[in-house]
Amino acid sequence: MKGDAMDGPEGGPLASPFAPPVKRSVTIAGHQTAISLEPIFWDALRDHAQRDGLPINALIARIDLARMGAPDPPNLASAIRCWLFCAGRLRQR
């Protein structure tokens, strides 16, 4: 139903799964850049960084390096979303 909360991966409700993107500044390889991601992706990125014992900037730098190795690299925000999706699928196995 319209306006109903959706269940998150742990069974709890997602507060706002369709919230607009939030722009944040990050530093990658000594260069500052802005990335726009929806809050659920910022939350997932923070969770993965904590689980790996890394600052968010370091995890983003790893994702950035991996995307640059692709034949046709996507933009960084898309690469982060795809990485988070793939990481989530791997955790489910």
Residues 14, 43: Cα–Cα separation, whole Å: 11
Crossing angle of helices 56-68/39-52, nearest 10°? 100
In order of their start, the domains of the chain are: 20-92 (1.10.3990.20)
Q: pLDDT at residue 3 above 50?
A: no
Residues 93, 89: Cα–Cα separation, whole Å: 7
- pTM value is 0.79
19-60 pLDDT, tens digit each: 999 999 999 989 999 999 999 999 999 999 999 999 999 999
What's residue 12's pLDDT?
Answer: 57
Average of per-residue pLDDT values in the chain: 87
Which residues, 6 or more positions from 28, have their beta carbon under 8 angstroms from its beta carbon? 57, 60, 61, 64
